[in-house]
Amino acid sequence: MINERSAPTDRPCAADPEHWDLDNGVLVDWLDAIQQCIDCPVARACRQLTLDQLRAGTPPLGLVQSGVAFTATGRELDPLQLPAHAARVARHRERPGRAA
């Protein structure tokens, strides 16, 4: 998520970062985050930051950034892959011994 040159209030992700968290959220939140990125007032700067990170080999990890979902290893997920990712996250959440 972009955090330089923009006030936190400019960025929908700053107001509700859990919506953008691909390790802990749910499918409907991620789809909403992608839509909010499209409408974000700093979308252009965020897209540039994301491209710079990808070129540097340091992709965003485990979140939606600039309307793109990235796994915990930095792999880009197509929106059509998000339901399967949501199922994996839910299975992980339900593992015995994991705090609720």
The residues in 9-68 that bind ligand SF4, with binding defined as CB under 6 A, are: 11-13, 36-37, 40, 42-43, 46, 65-66
The structure tokens 């909403």 sit at 32
What is the closest distance, in whole angstroms, from the C-beta atom of residue 96 to ligand SF4 in the complex? 34
Q: Residue 21 and residue 42: Cα distance in Å, rounded?
A: 19
Decide: is 82 part of the binding site for ligand SF4 (CB under 6 A). no
Residue ranges of E strands in 22-77: 63-65, 68-70, 76-77
CB under 6 A: which stretch of 6-14, 21-29, 72-80, 87-95 binds ligand SF4? 6-14
Structure tokens at 95: 């593992």
